[in-house]
Structure 1
């Protein structure tokens, strides 16, 4: 392996540093000796404001940018606010990526999502599956925005030689997650639901869907390490039609089994029921992670271990509920 593509002296801007992914990336950068990090909270910089973003980049001139900021949420939130998900994410992506390019950023990493792939993509999903079939209707707006981000990075690399790379993580969980009862993803929503049921001594908990869809889960700290590894080493081959990498464990499980694991981690002992009138979402979404593992990175935190530490984070004072 050659020299790192980023340097400890680089000024590195993590957009979305207060989110789960951004926080994990910041911790990974710190562990690896990258101490010149730039941050800007929403009160300081509105990423949906094109003028403000351009002015911030002109003033701060980050050499490396990680775009982890996004408007995110679970099936209900995506399905209820499609215009917001599309517009807000397109604004964030185009403003940050274009400003980074125009202001001389040397290297940029864009974080997408595994929802970019077709609903019925062949499993496990290889990077080549992008744009080969219809998306999952309940989150297509978010997916389309993320696909746009990937393609913008690839287009700037192709036309202008801008060193922009993209990673597509599977479902994330871990410290800093959003545990809102209706706006969160499946795993943090289950943690909150079982925790509240335990406190209320509820005899049962009802979960959405049939419990049969298969999902893959990656601890945020594994993603953080993957991002720093990619920044240091990943340079897409210009001749390769694939210009992004999947990031995951390569292991999935039924939501029904996940619910049992979460209940165990939380200490809830009641019955788990399923409301089959509610949508399941994509039947299966397991990523093929051969490409990123070939670069020398591999997920290290088992789900059972990660759930215990994530529940401890949920219980910590100041956790967002």
Structure 2
């Protein structure tokens, strides 16, 4: 299995873990009665726990507070009650180690990040008005999931769109917007100083390429994205991402269009990665040979057919790169 294949499996595993966490396995994992009331939306139970003197900033096993749960679930009345009682809106879940964070599961979060990520703009504004600080993590999440009104609110509060966040899946707002194909937000961010070539674990162009999204790739290239920016220690570019990623049958044509766009805008065909010492063309040629050998050895007709179709796609990529 290739390095990219292993990385892909790890990413899928991490996302599955995160999904499991956010779908309910918080329950029974160190959640206090106050947290349960905040999560479930029971205002009488919440006020009873507050009146009983429960620790407002207690952490679950995953480092979450009651305010984070209420913000995630969109329970405005609970958020107000917790803030009125003195809950800290700026605590970060990553302050407390958890088994999920140690295996690359849920990134560290805050109440504000949860409100933004879950689409609760009214609660995000409430939190900021009550002292929550919009950090790089909140800004990155807003790029992919918020509307222009939230971007404008964060801009007014002084966020730096080019400050990378090491605590979110996508390091900046422009990278997050590109990953989601959110060209409206991309347009706003680029007009307000976001750097399309900033490397923060990835780049905006790399994410659009990885999604086989030719429209967003074109959008970025026409607005200054450099196809020859390198990322990762292997010194790879967007062209390597385009030719080396696993492409489903339905995305073959989109993948070819992305490769053509990169070449049209100056992608260096002769650039070599530091790991394999191969150009993009040589990488595909090697992959095609491996696919041909696998198809020849396949005994299952369906498996052989899929490999043959994959080989045909690689032939098309080779023709584009060699033209």
TM-score (norm 2): 0.29
Relative contact order (alpha carbons < 8 A, sep ≥ 6): 1 or 2 greater? Answer: 1
Normalized per residue, the structure richer in strand is 1
Normalized per residue, the structure richer in helix is 2
TM-score (norm 1): 0.29
The structure that has the greater radius of gyration is 2
